[in-house]
Each structure stands twice: as C-alpha cells, then as structure tokens.
Amino acid sequence: MERLNKINDIDIAPHFKLSEFACPCCKRVMLHPLLLKKLVEFRAIIKKPIYITSGYRCSEYNQKVGGIKSSYHLLGLAADIQVEGVSALDLLEYAEMINFAGIGFYEKKNFLHLDVRPTKLARWRG
C-alpha cells in the first residue's frame, strides 16, 4: 500500500498533489481537469491552503460514507474542501465568484462540496 501511496504523490498543479484526490479505501483516483483548474483559481484567490476532505470515491466507499448513488465524486467531478481559519460561509462567496456548477454548503461541518457537473447549476445546504 505504501508503494501505491507514493505513486499518487505527484504534483499536478501548484499547491495540489494527485494523492489529495484519491479514494481513501482503494487509492484509485479520477480527476476532471476542469475541477482542478477551478480549484487552482480558488486557491489563488484565497491565498491559503485548501484541504481536500473528499475527492474521488469508488462506489464502495461512496456507499460507506452515505453518498448518493449519482454522486459526482464517483466521476472525479467533485471535491469537498475546507480551509483552516476560513468559514464555510466565506468559502461560499469565493466559490460563487469562480462559478462552480455545483456548490453544497455544509455550515455545521464547515466545508463546501464543489463540482463541475455538466448539467444546470445546483446550490444546496447540507
């Protein structure tokens, strides 16, 4: 397993490693280039490290964490993020500026779900 972790431990953009987006259970990863591009933009605006709490999820892990069957995490189109010292409400304002297609606001757990879904815009509170 250690060897697999090192395989994903490569820089894919300024401030991001592929391993940050890997499924915690199987270490596989899928990441859409548009999601990465928007996260790089987001990082440039907030000027603070972004912690990816959930990137790609295999179907088994998605089920384990209670994700919906059509989750964009399954396709590498979504990431859940936190930024130390920044509220989810403040992150929400930045995410709207970057125009993520899907934005889930989870104030109690202080994180955002961000995605680049190919369908119409979606906004929700969790």
Contact 54, 21 (CB under 8 A): no
For residue 76, give Cα distances in angstroms to 39, 58, 89, 92, 116: 13, 10, 24, 21, 9
CA distance 44 to 25: 30
Say yes or no to pLDDT of 8 above 90.
no
- Condensed to tens digits (0 to 9), the pLDDT of residues 24-53 reads 999 999 999 999 999 999 999 999 999 999
CATH number of the structural domain spanning residue 94:
3.30.1380.10
Domain membership of residue 37 as a residue range: 2-125
Residue 33 structure tokens: 């280039």
Question: For residues 97, 94, 68 and 107, what is the CA-based torsion angle, rounded to 10 degrees?
Answer: -140
> What mean pLDDT, rounded, does the chain reach?
93
